A and B are shown apart, each in its own frame.
Chain A
Amino acid sequence: MAVADVASATSEPTVSVSTLRGRPSRSTLLSTPGWLGLAAVLLLVGLVALAALSVGVALGRGDATEAVLDDATPLLVDAEELYVALADADAAASTAFLRAGLEPPELRDRYLDDLETAGAKLPLIAARTRGSARSSDAVAMITQTLPLYAGQVESARTNNRLDNPVGASYLRQASGSMRNSMLPAATGIYEAAARDLYDAYDEGTPTRHRLGLLTVGATVLVLLVGTQVFVAGRTRRVLNVGLLGATLIVVALGAGALLALDKQEQALSRSQREGSDQLIVLSTARILALRSLSDDNFHLIERGTDPAYREDFDLVTTQVGGANGLLDDATRLAERTGSTGAITNIRRLWDEYLASNDRVRQLDDAGEYLPAVRVAITDQATAAADLDAALGTEIDAARGRLDAGAGAASDRIRWLAVSLLAAIGLAAILVIAGLWVRMKEYR
């Protein structure tokens, strides 16, 4: 070990002794002041590296946490609400069309409210998806298609009121663009936002940050301790206040930083485990529930000419309510927060929705078309609306937990960045001060 060799080669480290013995044979680089200078440079480089790394870690995690809080989550929720608004608008428009004769005013209001919501969400989503070409394209497509859709729905409505069968064609065209273009695009935005959110969680908790901080921190510590050993051996002054202070600061800092990172990770992990996991599962369930409702409406509108709607209804409802379906997942996730009661309630509303759909099916299969339509636009529509509202409430609660966890993580990381920088600066000053005292003695 270099320090040990040097120490044994020069047994008398004080200036006076060394001068008395008169051993100028070594080059100045390897003389005691040379070693001290080298140690000072190495220590400063180490401390600067530690400072840079700490700031990098803190900023990186801060950004990731902010991304969770301010970008990915709002985008995810906006995308989900956009989907809900679009799907519900189409359900309202087609249900109003199904209802022969005058459309119920509440359906018209629902349709108009949904369009307004979608219109309000689109610019918000556009602002948040600038970085993603796919999502931007999807937003642009929906923004361009929605006015055309609304025009077609109005054409359908007007023709319907005039008893012109061509109205059905306009409705088919409108719903075709909704189901085949806009809803898949909205689903794409939602999916991308969900992946962004989980990427942000990963960015906020990478293992390499701890390893990096530990490696650099340990190296600085070894340097500090080594320098003190060297200085003690050379100068017989066992305690160098500056270096000791710096050592204590680096140790305290390391422990504090690891603790803070741990707390931050726990907060972020809580945000995910108790918040976003449930948010995603329930939002996906909400989207699929709306899709099943739309499937059923279209089965009635197309009068069963295409079996695909019922097949999709069966597939989607199994995915939501079947064994190990999304509602089972939601129950398991709710156990983390003790909110299983809310999920039990959602399950009950889901069963009611399926029961009302069963009645629609039985009537439709028995050829009782108009009674089937009546149940579809009353009981089933109400059950679906209740289910949707309950899902919406639980999604809001999950988002509250997500925000709370991520907010706590964000506070931790802000504190960490400031305190790390200040402490490392102080340690650097102490190192310079401590070594300066020794080096001065060689002048």
Chain B
Amino acid sequence: MTPRRWVSRVRVLAAPALVVVAVAACSSARTSDAALDSLELLPQPPTTPAVTDAEAPEPPSAAEAACEAEGPTASYRPDPAPLPSPDELPEGTAMREIQERGRLIVGVDENTKGFSYRSQSTGEIEGFEVDIAYEIAKRIFGPLDRDIILQTKPVITDEKTKVVEENDVDLTVSAITMNCDRWADVAFSSEYYTAVQQFLVREGSGIETAADLAGKKVCVTAGSSSIGLLEDHLPEAERHEVGARTDCLRALQEGDVDAYFGHDSFLYGMRPQDLTVEVKDGIIPETETRSNYGIAISHDRPELVRFVNAVLEELRVDGTWGELHDQLETELGIPDADPPPANYREG
């Protein structure tokens, strides 16, 4: 046997061997990562509401111009006065529309003790402002139970007027200071409460004057009138904006801020929640910080503004306002006060 024949035999044997090699190299079982596609479904969950920037200024509207002429507290004259009974409400009005729908929907805060907050014992939102809204509802539907005719919808400060503009609610009763910027967006009732803005600080903080607040962190709610006041009177204070009023109390408790600048109506409600904080008045003169609260109503429903004004007029005269305010005095130690006088524009 010659070596050449051996070699050729090797070649003959090698050919099928190569096929075996090629087949063996291909695995019968491969893994795949198709299941990993499901991971693509794990994006970020939505975040809690962010504080949005203030909107760009718009050209002044007729309502804003009237506000400049007559003052921000001037609302439309009450009508119909005296109020009709609920089954005699005029056809085609917002009141009739609300009556047919079955409920008055009101934007409120849910964290302001005394004024509007969710009570843990009932689970319902209660307080002075909810009581006012209930009085309005009673005059649309008659004296029925509150949860039957009144639907409260909590809104954050920044959206108080927006929900009215977008007709998510019929009215917002939530410590809205009437001013001409806001009159551009919504109409207001006559004044139902007068507040001043003050500072809430930790006891023993040594903050007594405007000078003490230079370079300090001051908490304000985004979209509130406090921001402008702070810019004008305490430009050297560092602003810390949050979404809800109670966030400022928490920030103060946690040491994130040195002071909270807000309406005394909120600050009175915070004192009972924390005995180590105190209200400082007069750091910015009260004449500058006076805030006149009005109920926000859509410009499209002037008849509802007049109707609400007629209700408020009744509450002032028949002593209901005084009774509701008495509860605030008992609960929060707010000083006795008379109802703010109504102020109406011509026409």
Bits for B5-19, please: 1 = Cβ < 8 Å to A, else 0: 011001001100100
Instruction: Please give, as numbers and ranges, the residues of chain B lying within 8 Å of A312 by CB-CB distance.
Output: 45-46
Complex contact A370–B123 (CB within 8 A)? yes
Main secondary structure of the interface of A (DSSP, over half): helix
Q: Which residues of A contact B110 (CB under 8 A)?
A: 165, 168, 303
Residue ID in chain B nearest A294 by CB atoms: B45
Q: Which residues of the partner chain B approach A169 to less than 8 Å between Cβ atoms? A: 111, 244, 246-247, 249-250
| Contact, CB under 8 Å: A101 / B123 | yes
Contacting pair B10 A226 (CB below 8 A): yes
Assess the A166–B31 pair: CB atoms within 8 A. no
Instruction: Contact check, A280 vs B48: say whether CB atoms are below 8 A apart.
Output: no
**Number of A interface residues in the complex (CB < 8 A):** 90
Chain B residue numbers with a CB within 8 Å of A211 are 25
Question: Considering only CB atoms, which chain B residue lies closest to A266 in the complex?
Answer: B29
- Expressed in whole angstroms, the minimum distance between the Cβ of A251 and any Cβ of chain B is 10
Stretch of A27-35, A110-118, A173-181 at the chain-chain interface:
A173-181
Interface flags, A1-25, vs B, CB<8A=1, else 0: 1011001100000000000000000
Count A/B pairs, Cβ under 8 Å. Answer: 205
CB distance A179 to B30 under 8 Å?
Answer: no
Complex interface: chain A residues within 8 A of B113 (CB): 164-165
Shortest beta-carbon distance, A140 to chain B, in Å?
Answer: 20
Asked whether, in the complex, the Cβ of A210 is within 8 Å of the Cβ of B42, the reply is: no
Interface contact B38-A280, CB-CB below 8 Å: yes
Q: Mark B241-253, 1 if CB is under 8 A from A, else 0.
A: 0001011011001
Cβ of B206 within 8 Å of any chain A Cβ, yes or no, is no
Q: Are A295 and B246 touching (Cβ within 8 A)?
A: no
Question: CB-CB < 8 A to A173: which residues of B?
Answer: 247, 250
Q: Is the CB of B156 within 8 A of A232?
A: no
Residue from B28, B123, B151, B269 with most neighbouring chain A CB atoms (10 Å): B123
Task: Name the residue in B27, B49, B111 with the highest tally of chain A Cβ atoms < 10 Å from its Cβ.
Answer: B27
Contact between A180 and B47 (Cβ–Cβ < 8 Å)?
yes
Contacts of B253 in A (CB 8 A): 166
Closest CB of chain B to A319's CB: distance in Å? 5
Q: Please, which residues of chain B bring their CB within 8 A of the CB of A305?
A: 49, 154-156, 159
A265:B27 contact, CB within 8 angstroms = yes
A276 contact from B35, B119, B121, Cβ within 8 A: B35
For the residues of B in contact with A, the DSSP-based class is: mixed
Q: Is the CB of A229 within 8 A of B6?
A: yes
Cβ B250 vs Cβ A163 within 8 A: no
- Smallest distance from the beta carbon of A309 to chain B beta carbons, Å? 6
A201 to B45, CA, bound (A): 30
Q: How far is the CA of A230 from the CA of B7 in the complex (A)?
A: 10
Q: Does A172 belong to the interface (CB within 8 Å)?
A: yes
CB-CB contacts below 8 Å: A247-290 with B: 258, 261-262, 265-266, 268-270, 272-273, 276-278, 280-281, 284-285, 287-288
Q: Is the CB of B250 within 8 A of A166?
A: yes
* Contact A303-B45, Cβ < 8 Å, known A1-B7, A164-B273: no
Tell me if B45 and A295 are in contact (CB < 8 A). Answer: yes
Interface residues as binary, A205-232 with B (CB distance below 8 Å gives 1, 0 otherwise) = 1010011001000100110011001101
Q: Taking A195-B39, A285-B38 as given, write out 16 further A-B residue pairs in contact, using a Cβ cutoff of 8 Å, ordered by the A residue number.
A: A100-B120, A165-B118, A165-B246, A169-B247, A169-B249, A191-B39, A218-B17, A222-B10, A230-B3, A266-B28, A266-B29, A272-B32, A302-B49, A303-B154, A306-B49, A369-B151
Q: Taking beta carbons and an 8 Å cutoff, which residues of A are in contact with B?
A: 1, 3-4, 7-8, 100-101, 159-166, 168-170, 172-173, 175-176, 179-180, 183-184, 187, 190-191, 194-195, 198, 201-202, 204-205, 207, 210-211, 214, 218, 221-222, 225-226, 229-230, 232-233, 258, 261-262, 265-266, 268-270, 272-273, 276-278, 280-281, 284-285, 287-288, 291, 294-295, 298, 302-306, 308-309, 311-312, 316, 319, 326, 329, 333, 367, 369-370, 373
- Closest A-B pairs by Cβ, 7 of them: A100-B123, A7-B3, A308-B46, A269-B29, A277-B35, A165-B111, A201-B31
